[in-house]
Structure 1
């Protein structure tokens, strides 16, 4: 029974560590024909935003643009510049070919084509990054509950001790 508990503890720990890794997202999806280009159906047919809405982005994830035309670029811009397709004051510019962008915070990110007329035809992307507490970065234990007198219960030490004992036991069994 103790061995089973140890194995389960190890599996949970390894799962938590594996989940904490950043992911790479190819903009539009790996199999997509919706790379960085003007949408065929105009702005109402922006498949890139549809793709982004179906994904869960977290801080640390990386967006990878494939097949950006040599004459184009990807601009990270403010929401106001995204809506108006203003290419004159980007936050960051990714040049032609393949570009990579690390999502370094939670909240919205706005990307537009470096060619204003392409942006106005719908070549733009909005990505929303989940807050850390919604996903895989939320690995720290919950705050300790309060006793009826308002003082904290020492649950944090128990969680740390249980995790530590599980790791030591798992390592002992592996040796």
Structure 2
């Protein structure tokens, strides 16, 4: 079974967007994507609360580029919803970002009023902790 010729461009695009990584891939906001959190469709604080992010993980912002964007900002600018001097700006509508360092990564929408309405996310990257291993069984006591 081979690939159809139309699959090759898709595979090449995926390879470019998602470099080899041992990390997990997260779609910010899950099926809601990166959007205004109106009507309770998405709560980005709640979305991050049940996830553990590690170095090498990839977060994807999926949004309508004509009405939203993504700005990585400093902690102070995140707190104040200030997008005027971002660290990095994204505007493609489908931005894959590899988390390369430990600590907090702060993102918000730079469109006026969107951050104030809750379109911001704090991604905390923690050290990887391997799952605990089972303790070895005690050696049997030999009889005399």
TM-score in terms of structure 1 length: 0.57
1:38 and 2:39 correspond: no
1:22 and 2:35 correspond: no
Gaps spanning 5+ residues in structure 2: where? 1-20, 132-144
Gaps spanning 5+ residues in structure 1: where? 1-19, 137-175
- The alignment's C-alpha RMSD in Å is 2.1
Give 1:109 deviation, angstroms: 0.8
Give 1:116 deviation, angstroms: 3.0
Q: Can you list the C-alpha shifts for 1:106-162, whole angstroms capped at 9, x where unaligned?
A: 111110001131111111001100124x348xxxxxxxxxxxxxxxxxxxxxxxxxx
Distance 1:28 1:127 in 2: 12
Give 1:25 deviation, angstroms: 0.7
Structure 1 runs (4+) greater than 3 angstroms displaced: none
Contact 2:63-2:69 within 8 A present in 1 as well: no
Q: Can you list the C-alpha shifts for 1:42-66, whole angstroms capped at 9, x where unaligned?
A: 8xx8612211111110001110111
- Picking from 123, 127, 140, the partner of 1:131 is 127
Q: Which residue of 2 aligns with 1:50?
A: 46
- Picking from 75, 80, 83, the partner of 2:79 is 83
Q: Which residue of 1 aligns with 2:68?
A: 72
Give 1:67 deviation, angstroms: 2.4
Contact 1:71-1:96 within 8 A present in 2 as well: no
Report the CA distance shift for 1:102/1:121 in structure 2 as closer, same or farther (over 3 A): same
Report the CA distance shift for 1:125/1:68 in structure 2 as closer, same or farther (over 3 A): farther
Query: Which has the greater radius of gyration?
Result: 1
- Picking from 109, 114, 127, the partner of 1:113 is 109
Report the CA distance shift for 1:101/1:68 in structure 2 as closer, same or farther (over 3 A): farther
Whichever structure has more helix as a proportion of its residues is: 1
Report the CA distance shift for 1:135/1:86 in structure 2 as closer, same or farther (over 3 A): farther
Give 1:97 deviation, angstroms: 1.2
